[in-house]
Amino acid sequence: MDTTNKYSLTDIPRDIATGEDDKLGIEQYENGLIQFIEHANTPITIALQGEWGSGKTSLMNTLEHNLCEGNDAQFLGVWINTWEYALMKDATTALLDIISDLAKKISEAAGKSNNEIGIKVLKACTIGAAAFFNRGHDAVKEIWTEKPSISEIREDLRKQINDCVKKQNKQGFIFFIDDLDRLDPPVAVQLLELLKNMFTIEHCIFVLAIDYDVVIKGLEPKFGKLSAQNEREFRSFFDKIIQVPFSMPVSHYQIDEFLKESLLSVDYLNENQSNNKDLIAAISEISNLSVGTNPRALKRLLNALLLIQCMNNQQDDEEEADSELELLVNFALVSIQIAFPVIYKLLSSNPGFDKWNEEILAQMNLPPIDQQNTQAEEWEKVLFQLCESDYYLKKQFPNISKILHRLKKLIEEQDQIVEVIIKDIISLSSVTNLDALDKQPTKLAEELSPAKKFQYDFWVKFRDKLAQTKKIPSLHTPRPQYWFNVVLGKTDIYISNICNTNKNFVGARIIIGHKIADTMLPYLESRKDEIEKSLGETLSWNPNPENKEKIVGLWHSTNFDNSEKIDEAVDWMIEKTIKFREVFSKIIKQAP
């Protein structure tokens, strides 16, 4: 790496005034907004809607530069960063300061040295005035002798704005209100209502940077949780405040060029690699499937890559520069780390993902593979089951699968082994992992339904008592579900205990995965008498022959409404689990 280059990408929004180029290909949208504002009737409010880091502030910088800067500018610009006003202040003081400062900046644009309107704003609100002025009770009492109304303040603003626009031959004021989505949601809603009531004035254009989800949260105290029944009330509020919604076009960002230039500028790629269209397309595809096109997420991804690259440079430099395969695999792993930390954690402990099998699910206490999907490879079925247990991952399963398929193909095309390549490259990327965020919070018992809470309590009791016997070295964390798996030490076969609260029975089962069922079930059946004699029980053999997954089990009736029966069921299951593991482990090891 060339040490004269800067190694990191800052999170400072793009500023066109400094000559920074448009790297995301959104000039069409910028020019369209500029043209719209130039010909807009006033008053009007435009909302730039998007999640954090989607480029709202950068877009506002561009609008301000093109519309409000230079001698020929047709508008006067006023910029308010609401988050800065809210730091270390209560909500009322923050709102007062924002409105007062807006009035002050209008006065300054009009060439007035005092802020008479700002003082009236402060007079209009009694809460916090004494603290604001810090002049004692008598002074505050004096200020409030004649409390101005909102309509009076609005009229004063109208006169000052009209005079200023006429005098300076401008079309009007553009108020850029940034970081509304960083305010406490109810405060953001209050500010929107204040702006609506005070600034519905000719020659005023408001451009808001906002995340609608924040406003929805802020409206919940007023309308309750958003639902089909009250959706119209939420929509009416938006329609009243915002006349022109503009969603940040993140799905249309042209990130190929952004990634190429960024990676080249910090020497993650060399000149030849940056000109390899297939390599850049692959990097872009992986980024789209993982972190997406959010500029802030992309910068975080790039900075993590650069840190890893710096650590790589500290190793003995006896080899040639990183191969394209290593660069792509590293890029993909860091992308997965940022976007899908649960999957990254599994890759860290089991890097040979093309060999994932049902033992992985058993270790994670997840349900066995769904055998209905016969087309997918086994590792992909395991991935599917893992994703099914998480709401976000469930939606992202197709993207995660595509990334891993792409990695597998790339590695195998180079005649390399998946496990070896992933293991070698993933070790350094772990230093940029937010481990605290990877730990998935266990749902609190009080948040569970009664049935789920019963299952959770049942398995906690079962696991604790089983652990005390010290007969089984490794047990999983209990979860609110009807099964609890115990490994047998061989792939595709394990103990799966069940607790059926609807039909009042428990069971100890041997689950045989479909990959070995055709050979393992006949083998176990050939030793049926020996197994049942060792267990002292008559077992149910393959009760569902139509299923590809085979079961050998034992059931026990109980009454879950009776605490004594519950304890008896737990003890029965512990006894059978220990015995099943002892008998079946020995016989499985002898299988041909």
Domains 26-250 and 445-589 are alike in CATH topology: no
List the one residue out of 318, 33, 371 whose CA is nearest residue 174. Answer: 33
Per-residue model confidence (pLDDT) at position 12: 43
How far apart (Å, rounded) are the C-alpha atoms in residues 221 and 236?
Answer: 16
Domain boundaries, the chain: 26-250, 257-438, 445-589
Residue found by looking up tokens 């005390």 in the block: 468
Per-residue model confidence (pLDDT) at position 124: 57
Q: Is 272 exposed, middle or buried (0-12, 13-18, 19+ CB in 10 A)?
A: exposed
Q: Which strand ranges, in their side-by-side order, compose the sheet holding 505-512?
A: 483-490, 493-500, 505-512, 550-557, 540-541
Residue 187 scores a pLDDT above 60: yes
How far apart (Å, rounded) are the C-alpha atoms in residues 554 and 443?
Answer: 31
Q: How many CB atoms lie within 10 A of CB 406?
A: 16
Angstrom CA distances, 387 to 99, 382, 400, stand at 47, 9, 9
313 pLDDT band (50/70/90 cuts)? Answer: low
Q: Is 323 or 413 the better-scoring residue by pLDDT?
A: 413
17 pLDDT band (50/70/90 cuts)? Answer: low
Q: Is 408 exposed, middle or buried (0-12, 13-18, 19+ CB in 10 A)?
A: middle
Residue 9 scores a pLDDT above 70: no
CATH class of segment(s) 445-589:
alpha beta
Q: What contacts 555, CB < 8 A, 6 or more positions away?
A: 505, 506, 507, 540
Which token pair is 381?
A: 């079925």
How far apart (Å, rounded) are the C-alpha atoms in residues 319 and 311?
Answer: 15
Per-residue model confidence (pLDDT) at position 295: 76
Q: Which three-class secondary structure state does DSSP give residue 556? A: strand
Of 222-231, 285-294, 377-386, 523-532, which has the strongest mean pLDDT? 523-532
| pLDDT tens per residue, range 99-154 | 888 888 888 887 776 666 666 665 655 444 444 444 444 433 444 445 667 778 78
Calculate mean pLDDT across residues 420-447: 56
Per-residue model confidence (pLDDT) at position 135: 41
Q: Is 346 or 415 the better-scoring residue by pLDDT?
A: 346
Per-residue model confidence (pLDDT) at position 248: 82
How far apart (Å, rounded) are the C-alpha atoms in residues 344 and 340?
Answer: 6
Per-residue model confidence (pLDDT) at position 521: 93
Q: Which three-class secondary structure state does DSSP give residue 476? A: coil
Total-model pTM: 0.54
316 pLDDT band (50/70/90 cuts)? Answer: very low
Q: For 169-254, where are the alpha helices, taking DSSP H only?
A: 185-198, 212-223, 231-241
**CA end-to-end span of the chain:** 55
Per-residue model confidence (pLDDT) at position 369: 74
312 pLDDT band (50/70/90 cuts)? Answer: low
Calculate mean pLDDT across residues 462-475: 85
How far apart (Å, rounded) are the C-alpha atoms in residues 12 and 27?
Answer: 19
1 pLDDT band (50/70/90 cuts)? Answer: very low
Per-residue model confidence (pLDDT) at position 10: 46
Per-residue model confidence (pLDDT) at position 89: 67
Mean pLDDT of the chain: 79
Q: Is 580 left (phi over 0), alpha (psi -120 to 50) or beta?
A: alpha
| pLDDT tens per residue, range 223-243 | 888 887 888 888 888 888 888
How far apart (Å, rounded) are the C-alpha atoms in residues 434 and 440?
Answer: 12
Q: Is 563 or 212 the better-scoring residue by pLDDT?
A: 563
| pLDDT tens per residue, range 139-165 | 334 444 456 677 787 888 888 889 888
Per-residue model confidence (pLDDT) at position 425: 82
How far apart (Å, rounded) are the C-alpha atoms in residues 292 and 306?
Answer: 19
Assign domain 26-250 to its CATH superfamily: P-loop containing nucleotide triphosphate hydrolases (3.40.50.300)
Per-residue model confidence (pLDDT) at position 446: 44
Calculate mean pLDDT across residues 306-321: 55
Phi, psi of 499 (to 5 degrees): -135, 100
